[in-house]
Amino acid sequence: MSLPLAPASLPPLPHEPARAPVWPSSAQALPTGDLTVGGVSLAELADRFGTPSYVIDEEEVRARARAWRSALPHADIAYAGKAFLSRAMVRWIGEEGLSLDVCSAGELELAALSGFPAERVVLHGNAKSPGDLRAALRLGVGRIVIDSTGEIARLAALVPPGFRRRVLVRVVPGVTAGAHRAVRTGVEGQKFGLPIAGGEAEEAVARILDQPRLELVGLHCHLGSQIADLGPYVEAVRRLVPLLARLRDRHGVTFPELDLGGGFAIAYRDGDPALSPRAYADRVGGELALLCARFDLPVPRLTVEPGRWIAGPAGVALYRVLAVKRSGEHTFVAVDGGMSDNPRPALYGVRYTVRLVGRAGTEPPRAMTVVGRHCEAGDVLAEDVPLPGDVRPGDVLAVPASGAYHLSMSSAYNLVGRPPVVAVSEGRARLLVRRETLEDLRRRDVGE
């Protein structure tokens, strides 16, 4: 017999409830204290694949991809591969009709090796290497996002004679949004894009239009990450549509595409706000249509780039407790992973939900701090989370909302290998990415 988690934690997609979900929709609590995801016991997965391990619910990924497709049926939904990318993820988002947003030749080559159509790929980045650009041109990506004026001539010089490559230009609308200053990319004074306010964006457009080997099809912007409020997206539209009108009046060109990026928030703890695709479509799409009518512009084809929103809630990280230590008023629960597989708490101060799985606790919960195994005082995975008072070495802890920006940002700090990724679906589990071993790490060290 299985028991559902608290209803507030498992809402239907794509509508946004009062309290956003932190666990995959398939999560079921068992009377034994265990938890199943995709019909598979998390404690059994920890025993089978070891810890740390990452579990990703395939059906959750697909459902969340479909939520965006349903909300914006005429838009291009480009999964942001930087959140998490593997061959299986490429296949899933491809089968759900999404495009793919990549930031490097490595991500692009993985997509190509997985059979993803190159014409449905968007390449962006503030400092693309010559290798990145050559790979994009060789494989024939659908769009390249120009991020600086210097990139214009550099890219045009690589395009073979007689060919034209479709490009977007990334502009900075001057809108502040994002959960942490390190991820606010829609404001002036950071490394991405060309500001509207200073005229740099319009000058870049003029330069691109002078390049016969580049075909400028529209504008791109990205405001930041972990944005739960629709207001910043609406404000961005209010600044971008007048820019489109000015460019039409100045150059006689009407651009058919507008990429508003991603950054859509998810819940990491019960009660955290999360952005709803349907609400985004209604309010942002409605504002875009209204302003285009006001400026006598055709409504451009919209592109959005959900990454975290699709992958994050589908993932659960599993750790095994190594030690429990009391220091003054604090109780520290040390686990066998940490900042090498999840650097986000150290980088951005993110707070997570943590749950004991595999057994029911026998003592009332107390506030504890879950810490990693690495030699850094900042290696903290979750502060002041309620865990049973009898938590002990050998227990398995599960951390939901772990599918995005964990493994994609992981490292081999302290020469600890990166964890495996296991997919679950319909009661079955299969390995997607194997654990990085000490032998893998030794092979890279070729000196004496």
Q: How far apart are CA 174 and CA 171, in angstroms?
A: 9
Does the annotation mark 375 as catalytic? yes
Residue 90 three-state SS: helix
* Candidates 103, 221, 292, 375; catalytic one: 375
Determine the average pLDDT of the residues in 263-284.
Answer: 94
pTM above 0.75, yes or no: yes
If 0-12 CB within 10 Å is exposed, 13-18 middle and 19+ buried, where does residue 269 land? middle
Region 221-250: mean pLDDT is 93
pLDDT score of 10 more than 50: no
Q: Are 323 and 272 in contact (CB under 8 A)?
A: no
Q: Is the pLDDT of residue 9 over 60?
A: no
**299: DSSP letter:** P
Domains defined along the chain, listed by start: 3-56+312-444 (2.40.37.10), 58-309 (3.20.20.10)
d(CA 314, CA 62): 9
Q: Which of 2-16, 184-198, 271-285, 398-412 has the lowest mean pLDDT?
A: 2-16
Indicate whether 140 pLDDT > 60: yes
User: What number is the average pLDDT over the span 61-89?
Assistant: 97
49: nearest Cα among 313, 314, 317:
317
Kindly report, residue by residue over 305-337, the tens digit of the pLDDT: 999 999 999 999 999 999 999 988 889 999 999
Per-residue pLDDT at 190: 56
pLDDT bucket at 436, cuts 50 / 70 / 90: very high
Using one digit for the tens of pLDDT, what is the confidence trace for 382-424?
999 999 999 999 999 999 999 999 999 999 999 999 999 999 9
Q: For residue 16, is pLDDT > 50?
A: no
Q: What is the mean pLDDT of residues 284-304?
A: 97
Interval 114-139: pLDDT, tens: 999 999 999 999 889 999 999 999 99
Is-contact 183 232, C-beta < 8 A?
A: no
Q: What is the DSSP string of 207-265?
A: HHHT-TTEEEEEEE---BSSB--SHHHHHHHHHHHHHHHHHHHHHS----EEE----B-
